[in-house]
Structure 1
Amino acid sequence: MTHQLKQPSQRVSRRGVTDALLVLVAIIWGSSYITTKDVVNHVPVLFFLMVRFGIAAIGFGLVGWQHLSRATATTWLTGISLGLFLTGIFVAETFGVKHTTAIAAGFLISLNVVLVPWVEKWILHYPIHWALMVSMVIALGGTALVTSSHGGQFVVNLGDGLILLAASLRAIQMTVTKRWVSEERIDIIALNVIQFMTVWIVCGGLTAITSNSLTIINALKSVSFWLVAGYLGLLGTVAAFVIQMVSIRHTSAARAALLLGLEPAFSALFGVIGGERLSLSSAIGGGLIVAGTLWGQQAEYRRRLEIENRT
């Protein structure tokens, strides 16, 4: 009897811990824009990404090396393919952060949520629900306000454009990942180690071609560079993935998406703390983007339930 009475409180406590961990991931990701911007203003983007994902690959590899040793040829091929996608996403996103504000970057990258259903319609021929159309209109209205905050008119600068490209690539990667991973029995841990290794190697090769040794030597001497690279490599990549992987066992996908959707709000908060100005148009636009993505997430969740019930 006593054991049965404790179970509800234990479930509530476990859900509370899970929620707190997911919010922590949103905080870490939200802080990544201003910290990345501070570093890449002085350090080559490709070199920074090489070190960040090198740390992530090594850190995650230490945890999942047994999975990696048992990875099939299909897992390796899928991991390398998705790793190339991931490379494109982070190269576009990080160069974008360098050329726009951290606040705008945090808001605009979240558009990938409302883009996913449209990519799925294009690739998988899934239907589009009216609610998803409304969420897209709301998010695009917010995008116009966020980009207009730079100069008072709707102008997509280089940084904004690169962030929008990264959001589009992320939506495509999410769609392709669902399709490829669901079709084969793939070890998810090994898959992610391979993805991180791919980004590490590709960015390393591009760094060797584009960066001069003096710039790299100066970067290696920078304490802030190592702190940010380690912070994002270990906490923003390895720990964030592990938390998501564990949390999904104790909460719903919709709830997890809702909590992780706080990322752009934290990006704005840390941007202001870091000295950026949050204009009224950017604040309203960011609020519309967040509202649109959250509505889109809920509409997408209902749509998937309908699809599963039909099959």
Structure 2
Amino acid sequence: MARRSSARWPFVACVVLQTVIFGSGSAITKLAYESITPLWCLVVRFGLAALVFGLFLGPRIVRQLRSVCVRDWLPAALCMALSFITCNVALDLTTATNVGFLVALPVVFAPLLSSIVNRSRYPFAFLPFQGAVVAGLYLLCANGGAPSFGWGEALALLSSMTLAGALVFGERGLERLDAATIAGTQIGASFVIALICALAFEPPMDVASVQPMAWGVVAFLALLSTCLTFFLQNVALSALPSSTVSLLLTGEPVFTALFSFVILGETLSMTGLAGAAVIVAGVVAATWLEGRRAADADDCLAHAPASGAHAEAASKAVELPQVALPLPERRSLAADRTA
């Protein structure tokens, strides 16, 4: 059981690394906005990321997409695209702390959406941890003040809802496709929708006026905060439920606050530090509990004896192939069953 539990932690580490990269990206994104508008920043970011994915994984992605239906990948791709567009526009309309609090709320939406889409039981055992994390996020992002609510906050909340959709539908898509293909479709859809929105709502980008620092930020966002993080997220979803991934992603505001202190000189009050501590404690406790529950369930299944209809089905599954097997192979199969 300990071996099964420990096998989960590399996937947990993938999400933690993703939150670190996202947190650093959130802290430096506004530096790019000094010379490039949010939507055109997204166009360049996802265009570069799509180019990288196309060069290294294009044939593989196309080959996999030909073997599945559009509904296997399009919902997750559209949700991820809408999440990034609304989040980046929100950053231009309100404070990063308010955006950080609201964008980290898939922990609330993902379990509910998963129970609806997958027709599964809502994980009520995680409600105390979800409540603690939401309280910690408020303390961290309010930072001793009272957060306001306007268009920026509304877009950030929409970003949180659509990110929850990307997690839930991405988890389902991974039943038919691998992590690289799901990530590639999300990047491609984000580029197309960002380009449409930029052409519709912003003036043409003045390339000559974009500062070298902004190009560096965009390159970081494209290669690490897009290519790598999208891949890490989908690798994690191949082994962890979307509710667990959404809970782990609530650590992003903690890293955002840390990098904002280092890069931008922003500081946290004692209330903000207390909120960060509550988030870390809640995420660690919930992840440990979920791992124990999953390990216990796997252990019970591994040691449960076959009985009733299950035993009969297992017997049929073994016996049916014997009809078509030559005599030596039937003897070998019978010996295996006896052993």
| Alignment partner, residue 49 of structure 1 | 42
CA contact (8 A) 1:132 1:296 kept: yes
Provide closer, same or farther for how the CA distance between residues 134 and 244 of structure 1 changes in structure 2, counting only shifts above 3 A: closer
When structure 1 is superposed on structure 2, of 55-64 and 107-116 the one drifting more is 107-116
| Alignment partner, residue 326 of structure 2 | none
Provide closer, same or farther for how the CA distance between residues 165 and 297 of structure 1 changes in structure 2, counting only shifts above 3 A: farther
In structure 1, runs of 5+ residues without a counterpart are 1-14
1:278 aligns with 2:272: no
| Alignment partner, residue 194 of structure 1 | 185
Give me the whole-angstrom Cα distance separating, in 1, the residues matched to 2:253 and 2:91: 13
1:145 aligned to 130, 139, 149, which one?
Answer: 139
> Structure 2: which amino acid aligns with 1:228?
V
| Alignment partner, residue 197 of structure 2 | 206
> Structure 1: which amino acid aligns with 2:210?
K
1:30 aligns with 2:15: no
In structure 2, runs of 5+ residues without a counterpart are 1-7, 302-309, 311-339
| Alignment partner, residue 8 of structure 1 | none
Give me the whole-angstrom Cα distance separating, in 2, the residues matched to 1:132 and 1:20: 20
Deviation at 1:19, TM superposition (A): 9.2
Provide closer, same or farther for how the CA distance between residues 136 and 24 of structure 1 changes in structure 2, counting only shifts above 3 A: closer
CA contact (8 A) 1:87 1:202 kept: yes
Give me the whole-angstrom Cα distance separating, in 2, the residues matched to 1:301 and 1:224: 42
Provide closer, same or farther for how the CA distance between residues 160 and 191 of structure 1 changes in structure 2, counting only shifts above 3 A: same
Give me the whole-angstrom Cα distance separating, in 2, the residues matched to 1:278 and 1:122: 38
Deviation at 1:154, TM superposition (A): 5.4
Query: Could you say which structure has the larger radius of gyration?
Result: 2
1:231 aligns with 2:220: yes
Give me the whole-angstrom Cα distance separating, in 1, the residues matched to 2:19 and 2:222: 15
The aligned runs of 1:143-292 (5 Å cut-off) are 143-146=137-140, 148-149=142-143, 152-153=145-146, 155-182=148-175, 185-213=176-204, 216-218=205-207, 221-242=210-231, 262-273=251-262, 274-292=264-282
| Alignment partner, residue 6 of structure 1 | none
1:121 aligned to 115, 122, 133, which one?
Answer: 115
Deviation at 1:145, TM superposition (A): 2.8
Q: How many residues align?
A: 290
SS at match of 1:205: helix
CA contact (8 A) 1:22 1:259 kept: yes
Question: In the TM superposition, what whole-angstrom CA distance separates every residue of 1:193-227 from its partner, at most 9, and x where no partner exists?
Answer: 222111111111111111213xx115763212211
Provide closer, same or farther for how the CA distance between residues 281 and 108 of structure 1 changes in structure 2, counting only shifts above 3 A: farther
Q: Specify which structure has the bigger relative contact order, considering alpha-carbon pairs within 8 angstroms and separated by 6 or more residues.
A: 1
CA contact (8 A) 1:45 1:94 kept: yes
Provide closer, same or farther for how the CA distance between residues 17 and 85 of structure 1 changes in structure 2, counting only shifts above 3 A: closer
Question: In the TM superposition, what whole-angstrom CA distance separates every residue of 1:252-306 from its partner, at most 9, and x where no partner exists?
Answer: 859x969876543321111112122323333323333343344444444455567
> Structure 1: which amino acid aligns with 2:57?
G
CA contact (8 A) 1:147 1:155 kept: no
SS at match of 2:42: helix
Provide closer, same or farther for how the CA distance between residues 137 and 286 of structure 1 changes in structure 2, counting only shifts above 3 A: same
Give me the whole-angstrom Cα distance separating, in 1, the residues matched to 2:195 and 2:66: 25
Give me the whole-angstrom Cα distance separating, in 1, the residues matched to 2:13 and 2:118: 35
Provide closer, same or farther for how the CA distance between residues 246 and 130 of structure 1 changes in structure 2, counting only shifts above 3 A: closer
Provide closer, same or farther for how the CA distance between residues 106 and 187 of structure 1 changes in structure 2, counting only shifts above 3 A: same
Question: In the TM superposition, what whole-angstrom CA distance separates every residue of 1:93-136 from its partner, at most 9, and x where no partner exists?
Answer: 11222334434544543332343222223333432344311012
Provide closer, same or farther for how the CA distance between residues 124 and 60 of structure 1 changes in structure 2, counting only shifts above 3 A: same
SS at match of 1:74: coil
2:62 aligned to 48, 69, 85, which one?
Answer: 69
| Alignment partner, residue 88 of structure 1 | 82
TM-score by length of 2: 0.70
TM-score by length of 1: 0.76
Question: In the TM superposition, what whole-angstrom CA distance separates every residue of 1:4-61 from its partner, at most 9, and x where no partner exists?
Answer: xxxxxxxxxxx99999887654432210111112223542211111111111111111
Give me the whole-angstrom Cα distance separating, in 2, the residues matched to 1:199 and 1:217: 21
Identity %: 27
| Alignment partner, residue 12 of structure 1 | none
